[in-house]
Amino acid sequence: MFVLQNSIASTIMMKLSNCGSLPKDPAYKRQCFCNLISAAALLCIVFFMGSAFVAIDIKEKVSTWGAANSVQNSQTNLETKRNLETTKSSLCESQWKPAGSEPLPKGIISQTSNFEMQPLWGSPERKVKTKHSKSLLAIPVGIKQKGAVSQIVEKFPSNNFTVMLFHYDGVVDEWSDVRWSDSALHISAINQTKWWFAKRFLHPDVVAEYNYIFLWDEDLEVENFHPLRYLSIIKREGLEISQPALDTAKSAVHHGITARWRKGDVHRRIYKLGGGGRCYENSTTPPCTGWVEMMAPVFSRDAWRCTWHMIQNDLVHAWGLDTKLGYCAQGDRSKNVGVVDSEYIVHRGIPTLGGLDEKKGICFVHITSSSCHVA
């Protein structure tokens, strides 16, 4: 196209130069002028067509460059996205790993444990095949309450419960004659409460395989208590934190909400319309609702994980802890915390830690329906 333009331009310039060298005849001048006009028009047409072809060529090149750049940008974005996903995946895996286990391959990490005893010989895989869900019963014990503790433990089927005893008096060997002693775990520390033991030996990752944690005192009577029925009720009712109701005729009852109500399986609040510490239908704070006492609490796995973090290292008698358990109810404390009436116990109220207080003896506090009632 450029060659054609140059050739036409040369021809036109030649004609124009010839016009300038001929005699100055008027008719001839008109003819030259017409030729000049025609040549100029032709030259404009040629240049216009050439410019169009040049524009199309440039547009095609720009389009090709744009497509190439688009492909290159897409590849770059895809590679960047892959790098970000890889980095994010690595970061998530690193965050998932417990502190100190970062160098280990993911498949080799075992983050939780349990209290199940393993045989010295034989394949542990055979035991895994027959394994089913369990809960944990943990009790602080002294040798003087051996009989009462034995009655409690024998109520809990060994196929469904692991038993742990916290020996606060240091006496362990004298428990060897009870038939379940060898299958129980024994931990000894002089004059320590169950909360001291629980903070140090019931870490949530260690008890993560247990559905429920029964953290009970030793001065309880369980004649009218059936653990498997109890579990069935709290699962059905969605209770994350619970306790068996107390038999008011025989128990040391300190708060009316723990007293057994004879209608229904569960109550979650109390109504007290007279005297101090009144509780109404719209009451939302403990001990009117969302509250259990510390002598026989039962925690779900998630509720215990929360509660364990709330227990301070220097906690002794857990006074005040009961009012804070609502934080660990996994939702609405007025719905997820309750007292089970149909499976009830007796709380003898014996201050056994460090020895029996003979002068104090057993204290009975009776809660009558005329002063308060539950629902």
pLDDT in tens, 136-167: 999 999 999 999 999 999 999 999 999 999 99
Instruction: Determine the Cα–Cα distance for residues 149 and 164; give it in Å rounded to an integer.
Output: 11
Question: Of 107-116, 151-160, 264-273, which one has max mean pLDDT?
Answer: 151-160
Q: Looking at residues 45-64, what average pLDDT do you find?
A: 58
Position 8 in a domain? yes
Instruction: Determine the Cα–Cα distance for residues 325 and 323; give it in Å rounded to an integer.
Output: 6
Distances in whole angstroms, Cα of residue 213 to Cα of each of 101, 137, 234, 297:
28, 6, 13, 8
Between 2-21 and 26-96, two packed helices, what is the crossing angle to 10 degrees?
160
Position 271 in a domain? yes
Position 116 in a domain? no
Whether 233 and 351 map to the same domain: the answer is yes
Task: Please give the pLDDT value at position 27.
Answer: 61
Position 25 in a domain? yes
pLDDT beyond 90 at 186: yes
Position 185 in a domain? yes
Whether 60 and 203 map to the same domain: the answer is no
Whether 367 and 297 map to the same domain: the answer is yes
> CA neighbours within 13 Å on the CB side: how many for 154?
10
The total of structural domains in the chain comes to: 2
Whether 200 and 344 map to the same domain: the answer is yes
Instruction: Determine the Cα–Cα distance for residues 337 and 328; give it in Å rounded to an integer.
Output: 10
Instruction: Determine the Cα–Cα distance for residues 169 and 197; give it in Å rounded to an integer.
Output: 13
Q: Is 335 helix (H, G, I), strand (E, B) or coil?
A: helix
Question: Of 207-211, 321-325, 356-360, 366-370, which one has max mean pLDDT?
Answer: 207-211
Position 170 in a domain? yes
Distances in whole angstroms, Cα of residue 142 to Cα of each of 103, 172, 188, 218, 363:
45, 9, 10, 8, 20
Whether 308 and 186 map to the same domain: the answer is yes
Shortest CA distance to 245 belongs to which of 370, 371, 367?
A: 367
Last residue of a domain, one of 55, 80, 105: 80
Distances in whole angstroms, Cα of residue 330 to Cα of each of 256, 258, 290, 327, 334:
24, 21, 12, 7, 11
Other residues' Cβ atoms within 10 Å of the Cβ of residue 309: 12
257 in Cβ contact with 332 (< 8 Å): no
Whether 159 and 239 map to the same domain: the answer is yes
189-224 per-position pLDDT tens digit: 999 999 999 999 999 999 999 999 999 999 999 999
Last residue of a domain, one of 47, 80, 113: 80
Instruction: Determine the Cα–Cα distance for residues 292 and 318; give it in Å rounded to an integer.
Output: 13
Whether 71 and 185 map to the same domain: the answer is no
Report pTM. 0.68
Whether 198 and 280 map to the same domain: the answer is yes
Last residue of a domain, one of 16, 49, 80: 80
Residues spanned by the domain of 51: 2-80
Question: Which CATH number goes with the domain that contains 336?
Answer: 3.90.550
Alpha helices in the chain (DSSP H): 2-21, 26-96, 125-129, 146-155, 194-201, 227-237, 301-310, 333-336
Q: Is 151 helix (H, G, I), strand (E, B) or coil?
A: helix
330-362 per-position pLDDT tens digit: 999 999 999 999 999 999 988 766 544 444 433
Whether 247 and 316 map to the same domain: the answer is yes
Q: Looking at residues 47-73, what average pLDDT do you find?
A: 59
Whether 311 and 185 map to the same domain: the answer is yes
Instruction: Determine the Cα–Cα distance for residues 230 and 341; give it in Å rounded to an integer.
Output: 10
Other residues' Cβ atoms within 10 Å of the Cβ of residue 346: 20
Task: Please give the pLDDT value at position 351.
Answer: 77
SS (H, E, C) 158-200: CCCEEEEEEECCCCCHHHCCCCCHHHCEEEECCCCCHHHHHHH
Q: For residues 364 and 230, which has the higher predicted lDDT (pLDDT)?
A: 230
Position 193 in a domain? yes
Shortest CA distance to 222 belongs to which of 155, 311, 291?
A: 155
Altogether, the residues listed in the chain come to a count of 375
Whether 76 and 201 map to the same domain: the answer is no
Burial class (CB in 10 A: 0-12, 13-18, 19+), 143: middle
Position 252 in a domain? yes
Instruction: Determine the Cα–Cα distance for residues 374 and 248; give it in Å rounded to an integer.
Output: 13
Least confident of 23-27, 162-166, 299-303: 23-27
Whether 258 and 160 map to the same domain: the answer is yes
Long-range contacts, 43-48 (Cβ 8 Å, 24+): 43/8, 43/9, 43/12, 46/4, 46/5, 46/8, 46/9, 47/5
